[in-house]
A and B are shown apart, each in its own frame.
Chain A
Amino acid sequence: MSQPRPELLGNSSDGTPFLIGQRCRHCSRVAFPPDPYGCEACGALIDQLDCVELRAAGVVQAVATVHRHHREVPPTPFTVAAIVLDDGPLLKAVLTDQSAGAQVGDRVYGIAEPPDSSPPLRFTREHGGPGVDR
């Protein structure tokens, strides 16, 4: 039986996307992406990890526009960023084409991509919609 990958995203009632992270009951570490095995900080088992909603909002720590890529998707050039989420974890994600000029220190927000897109969420400098900047 194949092991399902944890879900990364959810949608608030107003349609705003949020990230699904984990908080360890044992050591309180908040992690993203959610881990299917256990806590990377203290080794607590998976049943000690609670799902938590993380705001898809944060600050750009680093940014790079990619000119060569080994796949057709996303088409080059595209821009990726390392983003420190307001709720703690650091993640890397693709920016929207409109936000390709983002700079270190800019605030960014997650926007859901159309169904079956890879990646399923991009970040943008623009306000992502009602309720995002909670």
Chain B
Amino acid sequence: MTKNLLAERPVYVVGIGFHPYRHRSDATYVTLGLTAVRQALDDAAVAWADVEVAYTGTALLGMGASRIMLSRLGSTGIPMTQIENASASGSSAVAQACLDVASGRSDLALALGLDKPRGGLPMGPAEAGMANLEGGTIVPFTHFALLASEYMSAHGVSPEAVAKAAEKNHRNGANNPNAQRQKIRSLAEIMAEPISGSMTRLQCCPVGEGAAAVIVASEEAISRLGLDRSRAVRVLSSATRTERLYGPGEGIDAALTAETAKVAFEQAGIEPTDLDVLEVHDAFSIEELLYTEALGLCQPGEAASLVANGQFDLGGKCAVSPSGGLLAMGHPIGPTGAGQIGEIVRQLRGEAGSRQQPDARTGLAHMVGVGAVCVVHVLQRG
């Protein structure tokens, strides 16, 4: 009989920290990572010596990057493991940290998402020896441009209606000091500079550098260390799945999202309509429409009209990508999934300032990654 460990032994996010996402700079990954971890330790009001285990989510740093960085907080000898799960690497680091605490192995765990892309993203599947007729033409923005074509055709949705999701997320990002893009954009600006199909430059996420840290704790750690219970946000569920075989027209990423979310909702004991705030993998604007529908916030084909009506705005029924999402906050790969958790926690604490979703109680973070993989977390304040 399998166990839902997060239901048996509650796990709480007690600390979050960031190094702002930005274009690649001369800073080392160590500087990026330490900035985020120190901020998270301060936020949680815990000492590095209290942290019992660390997971670094990174797709691009290479072997053995963690210890030389984290030992600059003190060489405590704790277990450190790097987690690679493509774009969901940071999400999976959070998942492992939660599992570590939920299992009872530790009481206080660090998940750090970190990357410093060098240009070019090495892809495992490209080495799998599978031939195809694509000739290298189907890069991510074209994969999603094709999904946009299919969606617009099936539901009679215009390119402008899809682009409105990006307009909203750029607006949200303008209020996020950790975002790589902090500029409000008009729909006309967003529709300019075509990249692939209806996807334009401002409907494609920027891939820069950054870091995001999340500290999770057990009830025991909160009591023993005297942490602020009112700022602790519970992780209700953590679900990870991989792609199965789907029929033509099902859309791999959306079908996989629906399957993963089903597990996450069941384990959390909530319904999609309970969500007040949502961070999705909006690397391309069409994805926000696909995933809000796959997550069950609305029926297939309805998401564009909900975006247009402001239902996904701050103050709407469910704020989607209040951080700016991947489109505006950015997608530095490893940090992204951990940063989503940080944003949800900020929102559920009521500490998001000018981008606060009013009365936010329940939130969900969603990432997909090459493979395809999908990771979903549901969080709730007490």
Binding site for B on A (CB under 8 A): 3, 5-8, 19, 29, 33-36, 40-41, 61-71, 73-74, 78, 80-82, 84, 90-94, 104-105, 118-121
Contacts and interface: CB of A to CB of B under 8 A. Distances in A.
Given A64-B142, A80-B146, A120 B196 contact: no
Contacts of A78: 137
B136 interface: yes
Contacts of A29: 245
Nearest to B131: A5
Given A67-B194, A104-B149, A3 B142 contact: no
Contacts of B134: 80, 92-94, 119
A93 B321 CA distance: 33
Nearest to A66: B196
B27 interface: no
Contacts of B153: 62, 104-105
The residue among A62, A68, A70 with the most chain B CB atoms within 10 A of its own CB is: A62
B133 A61 contact: no
Interface of A, secondary structure class, is loop
B63 interface: no
A92 B131 contact: no
B68 interface: no
A93 B134 CA distance: 5
A90 to B, nearest CB: 4
B104 interface: no
The residue among A5, A8, A33, A80 with the most chain B CB atoms within 10 A of its own CB is: A80
A105 B150 CA distance: 10
Contacts of B248: 61, 84, 90
Contacts of B249: 61, 84
The residue among B148, B153, B199, B245 with the most chain A CB atoms within 10 A of its own CB is: B153
Contacts, number: 102
7 contacts: A29-B245, A62-B153, A66-B137, A74-B135, A84-B248, A91-B133, A120-B133
B149 A8 contact: no
Contact of A74 (B137, B146, B196, B197): B137
A21 B244 CA distance: 19
Contact of A68 (B133, B146, B196): B196
A96 to B, nearest CB: 13
A7 to B, nearest CB: 8
B195 interface: yes
Nearest to B193: A67
B135 A118 contact: yes
Contacts of A91: 132-133
A63 B197 contact: yes
**Chain B contact patch, size range:** 20 to 34
B138 interface: yes
A57 to B, nearest CB: 14
A126 to B, nearest CB: 18
Interface of B: 129-139, 141-142, 145-150, 153, 194-199, 245, 248-249
A74 to B, nearest CB: 7
B142 A33 contact: no
Contact of A71 (B129, B133, B136, B148): B136
A47 B162 CA distance: 46
Closest 10 CB pairs of A and B: A64-B197, A119-B135, A64-B145, A62-B150, A62-B149, A62-B146, A104-B153, A90-B248, A118-B135, A5-B131
Contacts of A73: 135
Contacts of A6: 131
Contacts of B147: 62
A82 B147 CA distance: 9
A84 B150 CA distance: 12
Nearest to A7: B131
Contacts of A70: 139
A29 B245 CA distance: 11
A53 to B, nearest CB: 15
Contacts of A90: 248
Contacts of A64: 142, 145-146, 148-149, 196-199
B129 A63 contact: no
A67 to B, nearest CB: 5
A40 B246 CA distance: 11
